[in-house]
Copies of this chain bind each other. A is one copy, B any other.
Amino acid sequence: MCPCSPPSSLFHGTKHQSECGRVSPDQGRHGNASCSAGTLVCQAGCVLEELSRHVEERGFIMPLDLGAKGSCHIGGNLATNAGGLRFLRYGSLRGTVLGLEAVLADGTVLNCLMSLRKDNTGYDLKQLFIGSEGTLGVITAVSILCPPKPRAVNVAFLGCPGFAEVLQTFRACRGMLGEILSAFEFMDAACMQLVGSHLRLASPVQESPFYVLVETSGSKAEHDAEKLSSFLEQLLGSGLVTDGTLATDQRKIKALWALRERIAEALSRDGYVYKYDISLPVERLYDLVPDLRARLGPRAKHVVGYGHLGDGNLHLNVTAEAFSAALLGELEPYVYAWTAGQQGSVSAEHGVGFKKRDVLGYSKPPEALRLMQQLKTLLDPKGILNPYKTLPTRA
């Protein structure tokens, strides 16, 4: 990519800044980034959107993208093991992060800032810091693999008559779009109503019980267009989809993505929001939403479901005029117990923090919680790193 030199030394000190590829004029805050051959090496304080711009100018993309890209830092993305919109195609940060530097509780600088795709020299220590939310060490620099920038991106936005049809559309998608499928997101009618009423975003398709956003990313526009149009033809013919629209230009693509990405903003304008971020077997992904509507009745303003269907990740949100302990009592631990009953995860991609630390037991056995606590004690015996977070009060 750019002719800048790699980190000057992996072992002696932390001089991984480079003159090349400054991603922000505000260097003190964001730090620097360097890159070569699709590998980005940067300081932890770089903002995801600025890194995206930096690598896109050089023919690559970041392997992750999320709604908060304009403000989130790459170090925080790693610390929370962020998922997001490109997970379906490019997978987890556990595979795409090549190295990191972390400062341990005793001040030791742990330099694992490799830029190699393969490295089996002992335990993969960087994994300890990915997703541990700063409780085992503070991530200070990152090396990450960036996929080549796709030459053609298309987005289809579809209306589906039911969730069964959403699932069948996903199956058809995987079969017919195969390697060019880069996102498969869904939202229910309540989500569309909220982005309409609070943000004045109009639905691009006929009113439907469910909506699906399919993104393709490929290297040859004609091939992708052909795959996508035969996919849409088959779908519309089969009744799985009642209406659909296709975007190939950047402006329209952005507008379609906004419908999905701005749901959280619309929810926040609807009232107090009870938020859940769960993983489930994909066939059961939506079951909890109608279940909760029946359970809560008029006590909830809205119960909505949307998320990364391709990853089995549901964002379940309940709004009400104001916070109510009684409503919370209806939701918790009910939602967690229901999720555990499906062998799901009570925290799919948003992390644990202090809010969910005491519900980990719904998704993790006691032996795992005990080992987590032992790791914490080993790495942070005085409990000074991000205290009161991630680990259960009693493990």
Which residues of A are interface residues toward B (Cβ below 8 A)?
6-7, 10-11, 36-37, 80-81, 83, 87, 91-92, 94-96, 104, 108-112, 114-125, 127-128, 130-132, 136, 148, 150-151, 174-180, 217-220, 223, 226-227, 279-283, 308, 311-313, 343-352, 356, 360, 363-365, 367-369, 371-372, 374-375, 378, 390-391
Contact = CB atoms under 8 A, between A and B. Distances in A.
Contact of A364 (B108, B121, B150, B176): B121
Contacts of A119: 279, 345, 347-348, 363
A122 B368 contact: yes
A372 B343 CA distance: 32
A282 B114 CA distance: 14
Contact of A109 (B118, B150, B227, B367): B367
A116 B340 CA distance: 12
Each complex incorporates copies of this chain amounting to: 2
B122 A349 contact: no
Which of A121, A124, A349, A364 has its CB near the most chain B CB atoms (within 10 A)?
Answer: A121
Contact of A94 (B127, B148, B311, B349): B127
25 contacts: A11-B365, A37-B281, A81-B120, A83-B120, A87-B117, A92-B118, A110-B368, A114-B343, A116-B348, A118-B279, A118-B311, A118-B348, A118-B349, A119-B347, A119-B348, A119-B363, A121-B346, A122-B360, A122-B364, A122-B368, A150-B178, A178-B219, A219-B227, A223-B226, A374-B378
Contacts of A280: 116
Nearest to A181: B219
A220 B223 contact: yes
A178 B220 contact: yes
Nearest to A217: B179
A219 B177 contact: yes
Contacts of A91: 91, 95-96
Contacts of A378: 374-375, 378
A124 B347 contact: no
A347 B120 CA distance: 5
A365 B125 contact: no
Nearest to A390: B122
Contact of A363 (B109, B121, B283, B308): B121
Given A104-B371, A108-B367, A178-B218, 20 more contacts: A37-B281, A81-B120, A81-B124, A94-B94, A110-B368, A116-B312, A119-B348, A120-B345, A120-B348, A120-B350, A121-B360, A122-B391, A123-B136, A127-B127, A148-B175, A150-B178, A178-B219, A179-B179, A180-B219, A220-B223
A197 to B, nearest CB: 30
Contact of A343 (B10, B109, B219, B375): B10
A281 B363 contact: no
Which of A80, A114, A343 has its CB near the most chain B CB atoms (within 10 A)?
Answer: A343
A125 to B, nearest CB: 6
A280 B378 CA distance: 33
A347 B121 contact: yes
Nearest to A11: B365
A54 to B, nearest CB: 19
A345 B124 CA distance: 13
Top 7 nearest A-B pairs (CB, nearest first) are A95-B95, A178-B219, A127-B127, A119-B345, A118-B348, A116-B279, A121-B363
